[in-house]
Structure 1
Amino acid sequence: MDYQNSLAFAQEQDRQDPLHHFRERFYFPQVNKQDAIYFCGNSLGLQPKSAQMYIDNEMYKWANLAVEGHFKGEEPWVTYHELLAGGAARVVGAKESEVVIMNQLTVNLHLMLVSFYRPQGKRFKIMVEGGAFPSDQYALETQTKFHGYNPDEAIIEIFPREGEHTLRTEDILQSIQEHGEELALVMMGGINYYTGQVFDMEAITKAGHEVGALVGFDLAHAAGNVLLRLHDWDVDFAVWCTYKYLNSGPGGTSGVFVHERFGKDPSVLRFAGWWGHNAKERFLMEKGFKPMEGAPGWQVSNGQILPMAVHRASLELFDQAGMENLRQKSERLTGYLEYLIDAVPVGKDVIEMITPRDPQARGCQLSLLVKRNARQLFDKLMESGIIVDYREPNVIRVAPTPLYNSYEEVYRFSEILHECLEGC
């Protein structure tokens, strides 16, 4: 796409954008009595205006049906999670039976590790990208300890080459091959939260399976951001949150993918609870866990109806927009942001983009390493009505999301960035 550094160009792109009207279906925070330019969907997505209606529906049922809301009405709570399976499956590229919405992200990661980290003999190690999100690091650390291993010995971290910020796929695959006989699990983020790099999940999964390891992904920054084909890629399991690109509220519920080959195998070990038990026998209250088929067999507790209601509102928007369409716009929108940042003359000596330049190797987030006065620049952007986020020691993450951000916002961001840099 041939970009132009002009407001007129940006406004024309918005007029031609078939997804532009979706921004009207979200609330934007106010800064200086104006809508903020919100480029922080990688931390917390905006609130869909329809979310209130979905919550009000469940509050009405609670008020008027109380406990009977579990079983009465068109959408009883006892099967509410089933309403989300189709939309969630379309977001992550799975069969409906392979996904379930439940709990929160790190809780689900621990539940998956119970089933899919099964160290035996010399095959006890887990491979992860260096600098993974801390919650993932803590989960892996404590899981290895739970099995009696020293995390320093059991966890293999892969780091970029000296002088580089991102991992090369060839280095990941080579490391898997080198440690193959020791690997029980390859567990990586689908997208690295810090750099915004998208990993080649299909190639990593294939390489892990070839050496006899299981492969899982934390999709916190990938779900709703990039195209995923979890079933086709033969991924063993994945987890994700819904409060970032999936716009389902602070502390929102989480999603789980379990490949059908495991979902159809009731012998797979898991930490069980009554909501994963055979639904036809659940209320008989008898001993002897019999898992439901598919990912729902990993449920532990009954559904979080109010967070799920918000997620339902968001999934409806994703279905209407379509992930293919959102990804196409995202590549163009983020490409425009990259073009404009490169065009800021005063930024060339101050800002280094550490996110890959290849559109296929990134989502909508660009991570900017600021070489001096990083916090000052961040504060100025925020005061000017640009909501981004800051990661220590000196990275500003900028994420124009295709569902509600515009080309004009990207253009205005570049103007404000130029002004702020001149003052730093």
Structure 2
Amino acid sequence: MNFENNLSFAQQLDQADPLREMRSQFLFPQHNGKEFIYLCGNSLGLQPKVAQEVMQVQLDNWKNLAVEGWFEGETPWMFYHKELKKLMAPIVGAKAAEVCPMNTLTVNLHLLMVSFYRPQGKRFKIIMEAGAFPSDQYAIESQVRFHGYDPKEAIIEVKPKAGAYTLETEAILQEIAANGDEIALVLFGGVNYFTGQWYDMPAITKAGHAVGATVGFDLAHAAGNVPLKLHDWDIDFACWCSYKYQNSGPGGISGIFVHEKHFADTSLHRFAGWWGYQEAQRFKMEKGFVPEAGADGWQVSCTQVMPMALYHASLQLFEKAGFIEPLRNKSKTLTSYLFYVINEVNKKLGEEQYHIITPATEADRGAQVSIIAKANGKQVFDQLVAHHVLGDWREPNVIRLSPVPLYNSFEDIYRTGELLLTVSQQLND
């Protein structure tokens, strides 16, 4: 597509957008009566308007049914998670039995590593991307120490080449092959939080399995953002938060995926709890853990009804939008337009003041464009916020902008570029 850097062109794209009506389903933050252009969905998604209605249903159930709400009403809490499973599965390319909403992301990462990080003999190492989100780094370090290993010896980090910001797939595959007989677990992010790079998950999985390792992914920045096929790609396990691209509210419930090939493996260790016990026998309160079939058998504590209600509200909007493919089609155009607009700003400034570190190839990125501000970065960011454009600041000099196809428009992109140019010119004077 040949882009144009003007308001009329952006508005034409919005008029032709089959998802344009989805924007009206969300609430935008405001200041002094003016809406923000919200480009921070990679950190916290916007509130769906239906969230209050869905939450009120559960509050009314609590009010009117009290403890009987577990088994009475239109959505008995005992089985509420099953409604979500049906809607979660298409988002991550799984069977409903392979997914489950539960806990929060890092808790689930720990629980899954209990099952799938099983160091033995010389095969005790974990390979991951350098610069992963800190929570992943801390979780992996602590799991390694729990098993009695030194993180410096047990964790292999794959780093970009000198001067680069993103990883080459070939470099990841070579590192896996070179250390194959020592690797117990390959554990990557699906999309890197800092650069927005979408890793080649099928290739990484295939390479990990080829050397006898288990393969898992943290999909915090991938689920609800890019099309996933966890089952078909033969990934062993994954987990994600739901409050970023899936709009479930701050601290929203997490989700897990366990491939069905592991369901019958009784050798897998688990940190068990009563909600993972087989459902039909759960209330007999008997000793001896017998897991429920599927991913549900990894549950520990009882259903988190209110966080599930908020997640359910957003999942229904994904269903209305046609799940991931229509969103992905728009996302690629949105980010490409943002690339174009930022480059136009650089041209008008006469130099590259904003260096894009997100991959230029559409297939290698999600709904995020990260830029290095070569001068006055924090001032630029603060001025954008002051003028109602809300992105995300990352030290020391990176601004992350995340155009989310469910609710962002092409006019949002144009106006962001227009403001970025104005602010930059003012700070340069």
Is the partner of 1:415 in helix, strand or coil?
helix
- 5+ residue gaps, structure 2, are none
Q: Please show how residues 121-132 of structure 1 align to structure 2 within 5 Å.
A: 121-132=121-132
Q: Which residue of 1 aligns with 2:363?
A: 360
1:209 is the counterpart of 2:209: yes
- For residue 293 of structure 1, report the CA deviation from its aligned partner: 1.0
1:141-196 per-residue CA deviation (whole Å, 9 max, x = no partner) reads: 00000000000110000100011110000000000000000000000100110010
The superposition leaves residues 358-410 of structure 1 with CA deviations (integer Å, 9 ceiling, x where unpaired) of 00000010000111111111101000100001011110000010000000111
**What whole-Å deviation, never above 9, does each CA across 1:274-323 have from its counterpart, x for those lacking one?**
00101111000000111111100000011110010000010000011121
Q: Identity of aligned pairs, percent?
A: 58
Please list the CA deviations of residues 249-293 of structure 1 after superposition, one character each: whole Å capped at 9, or x if unmatched: 000000000000112334321111100101111000000111111
Equivalent in the alignment of 1:284: 284
1:227-306 matches, cutoff 5 A: 227-306=227-306
Shift of 1:74: 2.1
**In structure 2, C-alpha distance between the alignment counterparts of 1:27 and 1:374, rounded to whole Å:** 28
CA contact (8 A) 1:351 1:368 kept: yes
For 1:39 and 1:241, the matched residues in 2 are separated by 18
Distance 1:348 1:225 in 2: 32
State yes or no: 1:74 paired with 2:74: yes
Q: Note if contact 1:32-1:385 (Cα within 8 Å) is conserved in structure 2.
A: no
Q: What's 2:402 paired with? A: 399
Please tell me whether residue 334 in structure 1 is matched to residue 342 in structure 2. no
Correspondences of 1:7-18 after superposition (within 5 Å): 7-18=7-18
CA distance in 2, matches of 1:418, 1:33: 24
Distance in structure 2 (CA, Å) of the matches to 1:50 and 1:347: 46
TM-score between both structures, scaled by the size of structure 2:
0.98
Measure, in 2, the Cα distance between the counterparts of 1:421 and 1:414.
Answer: 10
Aligned to 1:192: 192
Letter paired with 2:402? A
* Separation in 1, partners of 2:96, 2:266: 18
CA distance in 2, matches of 1:282, 1:235: 30
* Structure-1 residue corresponding to 2:384: 381
Q: Distance in 1 between matches of 2:262 and 2:294?
A: 7
Alignment-mate amino acid for residue 335 of structure 1: S
Q: In the aligned structure 2, how far is the partner of 1:32 from the partner of 1:355?
A: 33
Give the Å deviation of 1:349: 2.7
1:162 aligns with 2:162: yes
Could you say what secondary structure the match of 1:256 adopts? strand
Matched, 1:118 2:127: no
Cα distance change on mapping 1:347 and 1:313 into 2, 3 Å:
farther
Q: Is the 1:266–1:293 Cα contact (8 Å) retained in structure 2?
A: no
Q: Is the 8 A contact 1:388 1:399 kept in 2?
A: yes
Aligned partners of 2:20 and 2:339: how far apart in 1? 20
Corresponding residue for residue 25 of structure 1: 25
Q: Write the distance in 1 (CA, Å) between the matches of 2:267 and 2:155.
A: 27
Classify the secondary structure of the residue corresponding to 1:232. coil
Deviation at 1:341, TM superposition (A): 0.6
Point out 4+ residue stretches in structure 1 off by more than 4 angstroms.
none
Offset, 1:33: 1.7
Q: 1:367 aligns to what SS in structure 2?
A: strand
- Could you tell me how far apart the structure 2 residues matched to 1:214 and 1:348 are? 46
Q: Secondary structure at 1:280's aligned position in 2?
A: helix
Matched residue count: 424
Gaps of 5+ in 1: none
Which among 391, 411, 415 is matched to residue 408 of structure 1?
411
Query: What amino acid does structure 1 have at the position aligned with 2:185?
Result: L
3-state SS of 1:397 partner: strand
* TM, length-normalised to structure 1: 0.99
Contact kept? 1:28, 1:36, Cα under 8 Å: yes
1:390 aligns with 2:360: no
CA contact (8 A) 1:196 1:363 kept: yes
In the other structure, the counterpart of 2:422 is: 419
| AA of the residue aligned to 1:374 | G
1:133 equivalent in structure 2: 133
Comparing 191-200 with 260-269, which one deviates more in the overlay?
Answer: 260-269
AA matched with 2:149: Y
Quote how far apart the aligned CAs of 1:86 are. 1.0
Q: Contact 1:347–1:418 (CA<8 Å) still a contact in 2? A: no
